[in-house]
Amino acid sequence: MCSVARSSARPRLISHTAPINGCDATENTNNFLKINLPMKYLKILSLLICLPGITFSQTKPTVPAKPKLVVGIIIDQMRYDYLYRYQDKYSEGGFKRLLGQGFLFRDTHYNYIPTYTGPGHSAVYSGTTPSYNGIIANDWYDRELGRSVYVTEDTTVQGVGGTGKGGQMSPRHLLSTTVTDELRLATNRRSKVIGIALKDRGAILPAGHLPTAAYWFDNNSGDWITSTYYTKVLPEWVKSFNQQKMSDQYLSKPWETLLPLDTYQGGLTNGSAYRKPYKGETSNKFPHDLPGLKAANGYELLRETPFGNTYTLDFAIQAMQAEKLGKGTNTDFLAVSFSSTDYVGHQFGIESIEVQDTYARLDREIARLLTYLDQHYGKDNVLVFLTADHGAVETPGHMAELKAPGGIFNNKGLKEKLNDALSEQFGKGKWLLDYQNLQFWLNDDLISAQKKSKAEIADAVCQHLRKMAGVYRVLPVANLSKNTNEQLNDQLFNGINPVRSGDVVMQLLPGWFEGSIPAAGGTTHGTGYDYDTHVPLIWYGWKVKHGSTGNLVHITDIAVTVSDLLNISHPSAATGQVLSDYLLTR
């Protein structure tokens, strides 16, 4: 409803130029409304304008046709239940704000195995599974090179801003395009795309092949670095940021709990044996003496504290400011991943005080980010999605104390033991080239030379493994097929790339994970069970209505949904389904 300027001398003055029922009003508040009516009728008109329920034609704010900025947030190792499990420690402006104003998909799952960081980030942004995008794990055996390769390693490039192999990274192992690539292609590279994470793979894979930039954490210097795949020199704003040495500042004081210690409830209490201490730490109790531990751990210690997330957001905000993201005529994209949640989870376990405190602090960082976006862009100009790259399992030792299922699959010396068994059965030789991530690569040359069939050797591997504690099933990859109406089988199939994957794949029982016995504690992930596949998915901002749905959706649906909302092509190998009809206000 239009407003009328109030003045004791001139009650009929108009303070804006909006039309009133088709009559243009003057902007000058010193002139009277020029309508040829007696004074008493003008008074009546003035009162009618301000009556509740009386509407007049006026200019209303409209949601723009496209967002100025898309912000993709991945929280490494965030289980779905963390949205509510630690809700009593959350502020009103972080996760609660997203839930209260955004749209939540309550049953979002990964639809492949294994659930690791590299495959997770790739699936979110490529809209497809490892079978197509090629990111089958964080590491895998490369038959041509005869060695294990890391998901983002690239020996053809050099680090920029740091020294050592930590900078020799690129997305060259990613076999398909990403939604960020498609945005760059659709705008002839005018849209800016930047990926940021402590983990190199958390920054590089979301940013895709064609980004403006990707930055990650250098463990040697504590600085933000990139590689010559992206640029030859760091931008001045990155150099200036690094010169502040904020990484030193965050490690200069002990890690105390954000909230009173007695408010942190959970199975892994302060001092629990299943909370692994830091290297050089004699006690695993709060507070953690970060200044004292820095000498033994270096800058890697920052990654394993909640302050790594704070450092990430500090840099992301600086990137938005320096690169003027969202300030041009084209939609820009910031892909940011919070990695410290994963490091803390691995170290201390999902019920630990450390994990609870990390999420309490991350909640405040999410609030800081949302407030920044609202203040500098406006909620209706920014599209935000928040999800995770995988979940995590309860600590097996703790579960055993509770008489619940779980355990450690003892993989110590497994490759050597299997080779010995195969040599005894088929003749001496290196029948097994490698074992990683519950996959086994057989020696094709030896099999051919010994005139054996791969199926015969694979079956022998399966028979040996089935005898081991914690094994649910073992299958030759050649026997896998899709659309079997058996969830775990389909997940395995979706995680197999015909060129890169091994010849035999194994699944463990629920609640079990690989490790050496006895296990020291902590947690991990990688299976197709609910605790690893069920993750949050919340949308917020531009055109997004408030609500939720319990319908099953998959992580591969995110990229095609963003593509649909931006009216650009889907990523090249996308298999996901568009979710826009759930989200949009009508």
444 marked ligand binding residue: no
199 marked ligand binding residue: yes
> What DSSP string runs through 199-258?
SHHHHHHHH-SS-SEEEEE-TTTSSEEEETTT-SS--HHHHHHHHT-HHHHHTSS-B--S
**CA angle 115-316-292, nearest 5°?**
80
User: Nearest Cα to 339, choosing from 326, 358, 353, 322?
Assistant: 358
200 marked ligand binding residue: yes
**Beta strands in 312-369, from DSSP E residues, in sequence order:** 332-338
138 marked ligand binding residue: yes
**CA angle 491-495-496, nearest 5°?**
120
Distance of CA 260 to the CA centre of its chain: 29
Question: What is the rounded distance in angstroms from the CA atom of residue 558 to the CA atom of residue 333?
Answer: 14
User: Nearest Cα to 341, choosing from 525, 562, 564?
Assistant: 525
Q: Are 194 and 325 in contact (CB under 8 A)?
A: yes
The terminus-to-terminus CA distance of the chain in angstroms comes to 22
Q: Are 554 and 126 in contact (CB under 8 A)?
A: no
> Is residue 117 flagged as an active site residue?
yes
Question: Which member of 29, 59, 115, 117 is catalytic?
Answer: 117
**SS3 for 70?**
strand
Q: Which residues are catalytic, by number?
A: 117
Instruction: Report the binding-site residues for substrate.
Output: 138, 199-201
Would you list which residues are annotated within the binding site? 138, 199-201
